[in-house]
Chain A
Amino acid sequence: MPVGRTAPAPPAPGTVLPDTPTPGPAPGRGPLRREGPAKLTGTALYTDDLVFPGAWHGATIRSTEARARLLAIELDPAFDWSKVVVVTAGDIPGPNIVNSIQDDQPILATDEIRHHAEPIVLVAAPDRALLRQAVGQVIVRTEPLAPVLDPLASDRVFVHYEIETGDLAAGFAEATLVIEGEYRVGHQEQLYIENNAMIAVPRADGGVAVHGSLQCPYYVHNALKRSLLLTDEQAQVVQAETGGGFGGKEEYPSILALHAALLARACGRPVRMIYDRHEDIAATTKRHPAVVRYRSGVAADGRLVAQDIEIVMDAGAYCTLSPVVLSRGTLHAGGPYACPNVRIRSRAVATNTPPNGAFRGFGAPQTEFAAEMQVNRIAEALGESPLDLRRRWLYRPGDTTPTGQVLRESVAAEEVLERAAEAAEFERVRARTAGDRAQRGPDARSAHGIGLALAWHGAGFTGSGEVHLASVASVELTADGRLVILIGSTEMGQGTKTIFPQLVADALGVPMDDVEFAPQDTALVPDSGPTVASRTAMVVGGLVIEACRRLRAVVEERSGGPFADTYRADAGTHGATRIDQHFRPYPGVDFDDTTYRGDAYPAFGWASAVAEVDVDLDTGEVAVRSVVAADDVGRVIHPVLAEGQVEGGTLQAVGYATIEEIKLHDGRYLNDRLATYLIPTALDAPRISTILVEAPFSGAPHGAKGIGELPMDVGAPAVVAAIHDATGVWIHDLPASPERILAAMDTLVRR
C-alpha cells in the first residue's frame, strides 16, 4: 500500500470535515459528492501523489517516424548502464501483445514501427536526472518505410460492417429530392486534466500491483496476466483517484501498466510512469477521425424514403477498440429517424498514425454530426423548418431501426426535441435571425444564429456485448453491520461513488452514511465490467439494486422484520452476508452479431440541443452563447450530478465543433501541447440550460439509462447549424474553424 505523505489524511468518505457547517443538499438536489471534501482540500490522492519509498522513475523511448524498419537498439558503451534498467521486447515473459480485441499491438515494437511515438524501449532510473541521461544514450537505428497516412487510400481494413434494410433502389426511385453530402471530422483529444499515470510495485509472490489513473481495472488486469504470465492473484490493479477519463483511460492504461510492470520487474522496485502533457497528447489515443458520405432521398410528400451511408474511420496503426467504435458509429448513423430503405456500409482502416480509441460517444458523435448536417440541409432544400422536419421524421414508439429493432418503449425523441425547442424559443429566435439576415448590409460586423440537433444513444454495450461481459456486482452486509458495495466500476468524476451508495440506501431503506464503497482494487472487488458506454448507472446500478433486493429478502426472512430495523442485529447474529449478482440478459433483447440484425441496444437515450452563436464576420470566429440541452436519461438518480454530465458533455461538444483540432505532419501530431491544442475556458463556455427528461427503461429496476455520452452527440451539429443560420454557409468539416468559415463565406459571396 502507498505510504501517505505528511499532508493530512483525506476526510472519510461521505463525511464533512469536523466542525464544518457544510450545508446539506437542497431538496431534490441529491446528496453532496462523497469524495468532494478531499478533492476540495487537496487531500485526494491521485497517482502522482502516491509515495512508494525507493521508487524509480520510468521513461518510454518512442519512434520519431511514422513507419520504419527497426534495425537495432544500441546502448552507448561509454555510459554506465549498471545504475539503470533497460527493457526491450525480448524481456517480455509472455506474448508481446497489448490485450485487446485483436492481437496486433505490441507492447514494444520489434521488427516494424507503425506509428510516430510508438514505444520501442523502456528505461528506469533511481532519479529523473539520471533517467534523462540514460534515455539520451539509447540509440534506435531504423530504416524508413513509406507510410500510409490517408485513410481513404488505406487497403488494410481492420473491420467492416454492412446494414441493409428495405429496398434502397426502390426508395431512391420514389424520391423527388436527393441530397448528397460528405462530412469530415478530425481527431479529438480527451484532455483529461490529469495525464495518464501508473505506478507498478513488485509483489512478494512474484506478481505485480499497479496503482493508476484508469477507468477499467479488469482490462488492465487481463493485460498484465496475459503478457507477464501471472495468475489472477499475482496481478493486482488498484485505481487511484482519477482526474478524468472520458474514454481516454479506457484501453490506454493497459499498455502503460505493462510498461511500468516490466520496468518494476527488471529493477525489483516500484516504478513510477507519470506522463507529462506533451507525451500524453503525442502518444495516447484520440477520437477516430472519420469521413462520412450520405445520399438521402425524400418523397414528394416529404417522407424520408432512402438513406445510403458510407463511413470510413481512421483507426490509426493498431486496431485497439475500433471494431466497437465503428459498430456504434454505424448503428447510430441513420440518426433518430424512421426510414424504410437504408444501407449503411462502414470500415475502419489502418494508417501509420497513433492508434485511436475510446472517447465519450464512441463513434456516434462522428456519424450523428453527419446525420444531423444532412437533415438540416434537407430542411433547407425543402424550405421547411428544421424543427418541423424532425417532428415528422423522428422515431416514435413502435418504429423499426435499420437493424430491425422495434422501439417498444422508452422512446423520447419527440419529448426531448419539443422540450429543447420550447425552452430555447427556437422558432421565435429563428424568425428573428432570418429577419436580421435579410436586412444585413455589407458593413455588418457580426451575425447571430440558432441551430438545432437531435440524437439517440444506445445505452450499455452494443449488441450482445453485455451478455459477453457477464458482469458481477456485489453487496455485503458486514459482520459489524455496515453495507459495502463491491464493484469494479470506477469514479472518474461522473459520480459513481455518490450515486451507488444512494441507490443502496434507497433500496434498503438505510441511511446513506451506513453504505460504503469498496476500493477499486481487483483483489477486493468483482468484475462489474468496464466503466464505459454510459453503462454504469443502468447496468451495474441495476445489478446492485437486484443484489440489495436479495439481501433484503435474506435478512427479512431470518429476522421477520423490516430490513432497516433488523440488519444490524442480523449481522451480529449471522455474521457477514454477501450477495453476488450476475448479469442476466434483458428479456426480449436479442442481437445477432453475424448478421447485425436485432436489438442493437437494450434501450436508447435521447438528446436534443439548441445552440445560439455569434459569428464575427470579419474574423470568422464563433462565440457559442447558449445551449439548451434536453436529455432523456430514463430516470434521474442525482439531479446535480446528472446536470454536470450534460453540461460537461455539451462543453466538450462545443470544443469539438469550434476549436479542437489535431494537425498532422508526416503522421506526427503537430499541436501536441496544451499551448497549441485548445479546449474551452470559462470565457468560452456558453450558458448551458439542462432539461432532464425521464422515459424509464423497464429492463433496469430503477429505470435508468445512460447519461455520460448523450450530450456529446448533439452539441456539434447544433452549433454548426447555428453558424449556418448566422452566415448562410454550411461547414462540412469539424471543427468549424475561423479559417473554414471565412473560406466558405468567401465562396458564398463569389457565387
Chain B
Amino acid sequence: MATVPIDLTVNGRGRSLQVAPHHTLLDVLRDDLALTGAKECCLVGECGACTVIVDGRTVDSCLMLAVEADGALVTTIEGLAAGGRLTPIQEAFLDEGGVQCGFCIPGQVISAHALLEANPHPTRAEIEEGMAGNLCRCGCYQQIIEAILATVEAAHP
C-alpha cells in the first residue's frame, strides 16, 4: 500500500514517518512510535482514552488521521513527566486517589493539563465541562476534579 510522508514533532522531538493514509494518529503513536500511553478504547471519540494535544488543542487521536498531523506539534502523556519527574497535576491525581484501573488516566491527565494551560483558574463547573470528554468507569470523577482544584490551589495559593 502506498504510504504518505509526514513530519511532526512529538513531545519535542522531530519525527519523519511514512504512514498509511488510513492510519490514525493513535495508530502511528502506538504502533510506529511505540508511545503506548494513549489508549484505544471506543474508536468513536466518546471515551477520551486516546486524548493527546495537537497544536495546543486536545484531540481524540483515534479520530484524527495521521496525515492530518503533518507539521503538527503533538504532546502525549509520555511528554509530561519530563526527566522522570511527575508534574503537579500527576502528583495531585496520585494524592487524591484519582487513579484506579488507570486505563483512562493518560487521557484524563492530558485533558487536565490542557485545561489548566488554557484556563489557569477554572471553576468547578468549568472543570466538569472540560473533563466531560474523558470517561472513567471506575468512577474517579470526584477525585480527579479535586486533584485539578488542588493543583490550581497549589499554583496560586
Chain A contacts to B: CB under 8 angstroms: 5-8, 11, 16-23, 25, 32-33, 35-46, 48-49, 51, 129, 190-195, 241-246, 274, 276-278, 492-495, 640-641, 643-644, 647-652, 673-675, 679-683, 685, 687-688
- B129, B133, B139: the one contacting A647 at CB < 8 Å is B139
- From A40, A194, A650, B39 is in contact (CB under 8 Å) with A194
* Bound CA–CA A46/B77 (angstroms): 15
Q: Give chain A nearest CB distance to B134 CB in angstroms.
A: 7
A244 to B102, CA, bound (A): 8
Q: Does B10 contact A (CB under 8 A)?
A: no
Nearest A-chain residue to B131, judged by Cβ = A682
**Distance to closest chain A CB from B99 (angstroms):** 5
* 30 A–B contacts from the bound complex (CB under 8 Å): A8-B78, A17-B86, A19-B84, A21-B91, A22-B86, A23-B91, A33-B99, A35-B102, A37-B86, A38-B102, A40-B90, A40-B94, A40-B105, A40-B109, A41-B90, A46-B39, A195-B41, A244-B101, A244-B103, A277-B41, A644-B139, A648-B100, A648-B139, A648-B140, A651-B139, A651-B141, A674-B135, A675-B42, A675-B44, A687-B142
B53 at the interface (CB under 8 A from A): no
Given A193-B39, A193-B101, A194-B41, 13 more contacts at CB 8 Å? Answer: A38-B102, A40-B81, A40-B109, A193-B47, A243-B39, A244-B137, A495-B100, A644-B138, A674-B44, A679-B137, A681-B141, A683-B128, A685-B139
Select A5's contact among B34, B91, B129, B139, beta carbons within 8 Å.
B34
| Contact residues in B for A649 (Cβ distance below 8 Å) | 139
Cβ-defined contact, B137 with A40, below 8 A: no
Whether A493 contacts B100 in the complex (CB less than 8 A), given A7-B34, A685-B141, comes out as yes
User: Which residues in A have their C-beta under 8 angstroms from that of B35?
Assistant: 7, 42
**How far, in Å, is B141 (CB) from chain A's closest CB?**
4
A243 to B133, CA, bound (A): 18
B144 shortest CB reach to chain A, Å: 7
Q: Which residue of B lies closest to A248 (CB)?
A: B137
Closest to B103 in A: A243
**Which residue of A has the minimal Cβ distance to B154?**
A23
Q: Which B5-51 residues have a C-beta within 8 angstroms of A?
A: 30, 34-44, 46-47, 49
Other-chain contact of B94, A37, A243, A274 (Cβ < 8 Å): A37
Q: Could you tell me the distance between the alpha carbons of A246 and B134 in the complex, rounded to whole angstroms?
A: 19
Q: Does B157 contact A (CB under 8 A)?
A: no
In the complex, are the beta carbons of B83 and A192 less than 8 A apart? no
CA–CA, A673 and B102, complex, Å: 21
Inter-subunit contact B101/A681 (CB<8 Å): no
Chief secondary structure at chain B's binding surface:
loop
Cβ-based interface call for B58 (8 A): no
Is B95 positioned at the interface, with any CB of A under 8 Å from its CB?
Answer: yes
Chain B residues touching A, range? 35 or more
**Assembled-state Cα–Cα distance A476/B96 (Å):** 32
Bound together, the chains give a CA A652 to CA B135 distance in angstroms of 12
Q: How far is the CA of A717 from the CA of B84 in the complex (A)?
A: 46
Smallest CB separation, B33 vs chain A (Å): 8
Interface centre among A39, A241, A674, A687 (most CB of B within 10 A): A39
- A675–B45 CA distance with the chains assembled, in angstroms: 8
- B142 A647 Cβ-Cβ under 8 A: yes
Q: What CA separation (Å) do A43 and B78 show in the bound complex?
A: 8
Interface centre among B42, B86, B97, by most chain A C-beta atoms within 10 angstroms, is B97
Q: Which residue of B lies closest to A651 (CB)?
A: B139
* A194-B39, A277-B43 known; A494+B132 contact, CB < 8 A: no
Beta-carbon nearest neighbor of A653 in chain B: B139
> For residue B49, which residues in chain A have a CB less than 8 angstroms away from its CB?
193
Contact between A6 and B137, CB atoms less than 8 A apart: no
With contact pairs A22-B94, A675-B46, A683-B129 given, residues A39 and B142 touching in the complex (Cβ less than 8 Å): no
Which residues of B have CB within 8 Å of A192? 101, 103, 137
Give the distance to chain A from B45, nearest Cβ to Cβ, in Å: 8
Q: Which of A44, A190, A643, A650 contacts B102 (CB 8 A)?
A: A44
Q: How far is the CB of B37 from chain A (nearest CB, A)?
A: 2
State in angstroms the CA–CA spacing of A242 and B30 once bound together.
Answer: 18
Name A22's closest neighbour in chain B (CB-CB). B91
B94 to chain A, nearest CB (A): 5
Q: Is the CB of B36 within 8 A of A5?
A: yes
Asked if residues A194 and B103 are in contact (CB atoms below 8 Å), the reply is yes
How close is A313's CB to chain B, nearest CB, in angstroms?
Answer: 23
Least Cβ distance of B40 to chain A in Å?
A: 7
A679 to B135, CA, bound (A): 8
Check B136 for interface membership: any CB of A closer than 8 A: yes
Given contacts A32-B95, A194-B101, A640-B97, contact A43 B137 (CB under 8 A): no
Report whether A42 and B84 are in contact in the complex, using a CB–CB cutoff of 8 Å. Answer: no
In the complex, whether B2 has a CB less than 8 A from a CB of chain A is no
Chain A to chain B: the 6 pairs with minimum beta-carbon distance, closest first: A42-B37, A243-B103, A493-B101, A39-B102, A648-B139, A493-B100
Residues of A within 8 A of B129 (CB): 683
CB distance from B73 to the nearest CB of A (A): 18
Given contacts A17-B84, A277-B43, contact A46 B103 (CB under 8 A): yes
**Docked CA distance A190–B101 (Å):** 13
Q: How far is the CA of A674 from the CA of B104 in the complex (A)?
A: 14
Least distance between A126 CB and chain B CB atoms (Å): 14
Report B-chain residues with C-beta under 8 Å of the C-beta of A641. 97
Q: Is the CB of A494 within 8 A of B100?
A: yes
Question: Are A6 and B34 neighbours in the complex by a CB distance under 8 Å?
Answer: yes
How far in angstroms is the closest Cβ of chain B from A287?
Answer: 14
- Cα–Cα, bound, A242→B138 (Å): 12
Which B residues touch A16, using CB under 8 A? 86
Complex-state Cα separation, A40 to B47, whole angstroms: 17
> In the assembly, what is the distance between CA of A17 and CA of B84, in Å?
6
Residues of B within 8 A of A680 (CB): 139, 141
Closest to B34 in A: A5
What separation, in Å, do the CA atoms of A690 and B127 have in the docked complex? 22
Output the least CB separation between B67 and chain A (Å).
17
A191-B137 contact in complex given A277-B43, A647-B142, C-beta closer than 8 Å: yes
Give the distance in Å from the alpha carbon of A634 to the alpha carbon of B34 in the complex.
45
Looking across the interface, which residue of chain B has its beta carbon closest to that of A46?
Answer: B103
Q: Is the CB of A25 within 8 A of B44?
A: no
Q: Which residues of B are found within 8 Å of A687, using beta-carbon distances? A: 142
For B149, what are the chain A residues with a Cβ–Cβ distance below 8 Å?
Answer: none
Alpha-carbon separation in the docked complex, A11 to B41 (Å): 24
The answer, among A245, A644, A652, for a CB contact under 8 Å with B140, is A644
Min distance, Cβ A139 to any Cβ of chain B, angstroms: 26
Q: Considering the chains assembled together, what is the distance between the CA atoms of A301 and B46 in angstroms?
A: 54
Does residue B1 face the partner (Cβ distance < 8 Å to A)? yes
Which A residue's beta carbon lies closest to that of B38?
A42
Determine how close the nearest CB of chain B comes to the CB of A735; give it in whole angstroms.
17
Q: Complex Cα distance A649/B137, Å? A: 9
Closest to A50 in B: B36
Q: Are A682 and B100 in contact (CB under 8 A)?
A: no
Query: Provided the pairs A7-B34, A194-B103, A685-B139 are in contact, do residues A644 and B39 lie with their beta carbons within 8 angstroms?
Result: no
B59 interface contact, C-beta 8 A: no
The contact of A42 among B42, B46, B78, B138, by CB within 8 Å, is: B78
Known A49-B36, A682-B145, A683-B132: A39·B105 in contact at CB below 8 Å: yes
Do residues A193 and B85 form an inter-chain contact, with CB atoms below 8 A?
no
For B104, the chain A residues whose CB sits under 8 A away are 193, 243
Query: Judging by beta carbons under 8 Å apart, are B135 and A681 in contact?
Result: yes
Q: Residue on A with the closest CB to B101?
A: A493
For A190, what are the chain B residues with a Cβ–Cβ distance below 8 Å? Answer: 137
Q: Nearest-CB distance from A521 to chain B (Å)? A: 19
Which residues of chain B are near A49, meaning CB under 8 Å? Answer: 36
Contact between chains at A18 and B84 (CB < 8 Å): yes
How many angstroms from the CA of A299 to the CA of B40 in the assembled complex? 58
Query: Are B103 and A193 within 8 A (Cβ)?
Result: yes
Q: Are A674 and B46 in contact (CB under 8 A)?
A: yes
In the assembled complex, B61 has its CB within 8 A of some CB on chain A: no
Chain B residues lying within 8 Å of A685, measured Cβ to Cβ, are 139, 141-142
Contact check, A674 vs B42: say whether CB atoms are below 8 A apart.
yes
Specify which chain A residues have a CB less than 8 angstroms from the CB of B85 in the assembled complex. Answer: 17-20
Residues of B within 8 A of A193 (CB): 39, 41, 47, 49, 101, 103-104, 135-137
Chain B residues with CB below 8 A from A652, complex form: 137, 139
